[in-house]
Structure 1
Amino acid sequence: MTSTTSITSTTSTTVTAGSTEPRATLGHALHAEWTKLRTLRTTAYLVLFMVVVGSAYGGVFSWIDGTGYPSLLGSDRSAFDPTATALRGYAITQLAAGFLGVHVIASEYSTGMIRTSLTVVPRRGRLLAAKALVVTAVVLVAGVLSGFGGFFAGQQVLAANHAPHVALGDPQVLRAVLGTGLYLALVCLLGVGIGALTRAPVGAFALLAALTLIVPATAANLPGTAGRLVKEFWPSAAGSRVTAVVPLEDTLGPWAGLGVLAAFVALLLLAGFEAVRRRDP
């Protein structure tokens, strides 16, 4: 009788403990990360920045290229891409997308909040996956809105300057506009990977800016093979081809280029996961 009572008591305690402290599922982690992300002012500011700046710069770049179009010669005229011109705001908005990716992971390490997050979601891979999925979904939506805003603003400016312009229904145009959102989402994931590796928001953002903006902008001007390789295979340069319609020499196609960026991002995310898994908070 004593033995039976003991077993019953133990079972009851186990059930009670299980009911009061249920295992955190991916759904719970996603909900928690969404709550944290949407309550941060930084999120609203960066999303607004992506949409507004992407739209505004679509008009600015289109005005610059549109007013200069009459002076272009034959080969440059044939390479003129009204779609890519209007979507070029991604060069600025990618910094906001990447910073948001860095922020969701690196800021928790810098403030010590990561200990609380790991207490609630002990499985580190699940926690990192939840962070990456939530922030990427937000950036994807903001990136698509930025692409549409830049496209429509840019085409109006090009038409007003009597330069070539296109409609959303023209071949490959919708793919390029939606590709802006895909590109920015991948840059956001790149920020998550870098943030997980470095755990330092400032250092992570500096590295992100170097990888996405500084290196391709400077190295692409190198003469000969070096410049061509950077322009064709550097991850951010290759990935940005998804925003173009007119093909260029010495560059990958839109999906191949995006694939290069996606592969690079996947490697960094795996490295970031290993770093988060192996070290203390």
Structure 2
Amino acid sequence: MSATVAPASSRVPGRTGKKATFANVLASEWTKLLTVRSTFWTLLAGAVVVVGFSALWALAFTSSYDQLSASDRASLAPTSPMQIAFYFGEVIFGVLGVLVITAEYSTGMIRTALTAMPRRARYLGAKAAVLGLVVLVVGVVVSFASFFVSQLILAGKDLDGSLGDPGVLRSVIGGGVWLALIAVMALGIGTLLRHTAGSVVTVFVVLFVLGIVGGFLPGRWGDTVNKLLPSNAGGAILSPQGGGAARPLGGARPVRALHARRAGGRAGAVREAGRVRARAPRGSLAPWRAGLGLLALATVSVSFAIQLPVLDPVSFFSYWTTLSNLAGGVALLAGSVPGLRHRRWVDWLRGAAALYLAITGVVYALLLGGGVGSLSGWVEHRIMPVAVPLDWLLFSAGHRLATRRTMLSWLAFPIGYLAYTLFHGAVTSWYPYPFFDAAHRGYAVVTGYTIAIAGTAVAVAALLLLWSGLRRRASRLLRPARAVTWVRETP
């Protein structure tokens, strides 16, 4: 006789076997969002930028109020400083929305999540609900703080208002709603692209670049595009009058997870193939990066406030110096956050900013005379073009960046800028730099300058990537050999 063996139960002890509900997914997403350090640091950075820029713009309005025309004074509202500050801070909350989903794709956690909840609509709905709720609460607090801080400064010129004024309370609460909508929109972009760097760049283009392009499109084209831009929807929400895009000061529209572990660990750990960690920056480096990043962003913002009465926003943001310093400031801030500085997309952004600011320094020294006459000129043309490339050389990428693909992605922005400058100049007869002025110098001379600058950009990009590769190889060669444990076989 043979004994009958009962089949082993496939149910895990202690498990009920029930399916995951929407409430379970909400609780899981809540835990994931609040336990990742990048959430706190990103929300803190967004709050500091929005409140700080509100105070900065309120100070700019009060200092230049006597020089404004009557129409500009009439268009100035109590919420105008925070209205402009939100254009700068919205990108940071958009980055949070991207990281919430792309971090799971980069770490492989998305497979575990979709195994527990195969219904993607419910899973994404829960993620969007938790993200939107957190950003809504933080955004409303930030919006009220920005309003009260800016009113204290505007009171010096009797320009302040109160929450009881028509439309003001709706605008202040709407600021938090707008930030939540930006985060959810960025979550959707990250879900479609599944790549952190590509999603962050797309969010930046949607919120900033499209606003610049829509600003100079003529006639009905411009009106149609402006109606569809998310930045203009935010302007309508933040405007006490409501309706239409935000156009303070004479109608000129202002332009706007998992932490990577350090190399090492227990003996016998398997090293990730194709990736070698560079030495992490010392703790004292983070404050310097954060300080330089805030200095760059504050310098660009102050320059914009000073030149706003004589230079429209489209022209101001058509300068390569402005754009490269914005990129450098964002890259330094991202490199100073403990939860972000080891990410692959931060390495990519730091390298791109080093390239763009190196171009700024070389072109300014060789083609524009190299003289500086103001503090902002020193920061934008001397300090940042040296500090950001030096930061890359001393603490280059901890991730392996594919040479050809990285170089092409870095050079895509300068190529797009060149095309935009020539097209914009042909339409408006205004060029940001004299060596691009085809009307006076001729296309042959402009072509020569373009080839020279493009060759410099390619050479600098190649050198930055080559240096990063050499540092990784040196780190691999100098790494101590892994200890080998001998085990005696027993008979």
TM, length-normalised to structure 1: 0.78
2:109 maps to a residue whose letter is: M
Contact 1:51 1:149 (C-alpha < 8 Å) held by counterparts: no
Is 1:106 the counterpart of 2:102 in the alignment? yes
Deviation at 1:224?
3.2
Q: Which has the higher contact order (CA 8 A, sep 6+)?
A: 1
Q: Who is 2:51 aligned against?
A: 55
Q: Who is 1:195 aligned against?
A: 190
CA distance in 2, matches of 1:18, 1:84: 58
Deviation at 1:24?
0.5
Whose helix proportion is higher, 1 or 2? 1
Q: Residues 98-154 of structure 1: CA distance to partner in whole angstroms, max 9, x if unpaired?
A: 111111112211221101111222221111111111111111111111111111111
CA distance in 1, matches of 2:226, 2:77: 17
Q: CA RMSD in A?
A: 2.4
2:195 maps to a residue whose letter is: A
CA distance in 2, matches of 1:229, 1:157: 37
1:197 maps to a residue whose letter is: L
Is 1:186 the counterpart of 2:181 in the alignment? yes
CA distance in 1, matches of 2:197, 2:10: 45
CA distance in 2, matches of 1:60, 1:135: 29
CA distance in 1, matches of 2:224, 2:61: 26
Greater Cα shift, 44-53 or 200-209: 44-53
Greater Cα shift, 174-183 or 19-28: 19-28
CA distance in 2, matches of 1:69, 1:223: 30
Q: Residues 63-108 of structure 1: CA distance to partner in whole angstroms, max 9, x if unpaired?
A: 1122222222222222112213233221122112111111111221
Q: Where does structure 1 differ by over 6 angstroms across 4 or more consecutive aligned residues?
A: 13-18
Q: Secondary structure at 1:65's aligned position in 2? A: helix
Q: How does 1:181-260 map to 2 (within 5 A)?
A: 181-246=176-241, 251=245
Deviation at 1:155?
0.9
Is 1:26 the counterpart of 2:22 in the alignment? yes
2:106 maps to a residue whose letter is: S
Residue segments in structure 2 that go unaligned for 5+ positions in a row: 1-5, 247-491
TM, length-normalised to structure 2: 0.46
Greater Cα shift, 176-185 or 238-247: 238-247
Is 1:72 the counterpart of 2:68 in the alignment? yes
Q: Secondary structure at 1:206's aligned position in 2? A: helix
CA distance in 2, matches of 1:16, 1:66: 68
Correspondent of 2:42 among 42, 46, 51: 46
Q: CA separation of 1:229/1:165 partners in 2, compared to 1, >3 Å: closer, same or farther?
A: farther
Q: Who is 1:259 aligned against?
A: none
Correspondent of 1:138 among 111, 134, 139: 134
Deviation at 1:247?
5.7
Contact 2:87 2:231 (C-alpha < 8 Å) held by counterparts: no
1:193 maps to a residue whose letter is: G
1:21 maps to a residue whose letter is: G
Q: Who is 1:118 aligned against?
A: 114
Deviation at 1:246?
3.9
1:68 maps to a residue whose letter is: S
Greater Cα shift, 13-22 or 171-180: 13-22
CA distance in 1, matches of 2:235, 2:83: 10
Deviation at 1:231?
3.3
Q: Residues 13-60 of structure 1: CA distance to partner in whole angstroms, max 9, x if unpaired?
A: 799999622110111001011111101110000111222221111111
Q: Who is 2:280 aligned against?
A: none
Q: Who is 2:169 aligned against?
A: 174
Q: CA separation of 1:66/1:224 partners in 2, compared to 1, >3 Å: closer, same or farther?
A: farther
Q: Secondary structure at 2:216's aligned position in 1? A: coil
Greater Cα shift, 132-141 or 226-235: 226-235
CA distance in 2, matches of 1:51, 1:40: 18
Deviation at 1:235?
2.6
1:89 maps to a residue whose letter is: A
Q: CA separation of 1:222/1:64 partners in 2, compared to 1, >3 Å: closer, same or farther?
A: farther
Higher-Rg member (1/2): 2
Contact 1:55 1:89 (C-alpha < 8 Å) held by counterparts: yes
Identity over the aligned pairs, expressed in percent?
37
- What is the total number of aligned residue pairs between the two structures? 240
